[in-house]
Every structure is written in structure tokens, then in C-alpha cells.
Amino acid sequence: MNIYLIMLAIIGAFAVADIYKMIAGPTIFDRLLCLNILSAKIVMAMTIFALMTGQSYMLDIAIVYTLLSFVSTVLIARFVRSRGMQL
């Protein structure tokens, strides 16, 4: 079995755990943290997939996804901070 497939399986297993924590998280901040961690795992999986297949454009997509993930996390955090704990 290829080492890349093993790494993708491990990342996938931890991503499922993060999705569970995101759904069951007691506070909105736990959910936001899990969303950020899940985004990082998606970028790791995209990078491993790019290495596995030799498609270099996937790395560009991973960089754009990282930037969008960062901006969305900041915007959601600012929204939660301004609205308080009303959510």
C-alpha cells in the first residue's frame, strides 16, 4: 500500500473526529476552532494528493483555499464577537 494513501486515511479519520466535535461542541468558539482545524486537514490532504498524482496546480488550489479559510475564520470570529453569545 502506498504511504500517501495511508496518510490520507489517517487525515480522513481525524477529520471525521473533528466533524463530530464541530457538531457536538459546547460553545461557538469550539466549533470555530474545529472548523479551522478541519480546513488545515483539507489543505494537508490536498497537498498529499498533489504529491501522489504529480499535479502541481493542486498546490495552487491549496494555497487559495488556505487564504479563504483564514479570511472566513477571521470574519466569523469578528461576527461572533460583535453579536456576543446570542447564537
Domain layout of the chain by residue ranges: 3-83
The pLDDT score that the predictor gives to residue 86 is 59
- What's the average model confidence in pLDDT over 35-62? 93
- What is the spatial distance between Cα 85 and Cα 60, in angstroms, rounded to a whole number? 37
Q: Which residue has the higher pLDDT, 77 or 45?
A: 45
Percent of the chain that is helix, strand, coil (3-state, to 5): 85, 0, 15
Q: In this model, does residue 36 exceed pLDDT 70?
A: yes
Kindly state the percentage of the chain with pLDDT values over 90: 66
Report pTM. 0.84
The pLDDT score that the predictor gives to residue 5 is 92
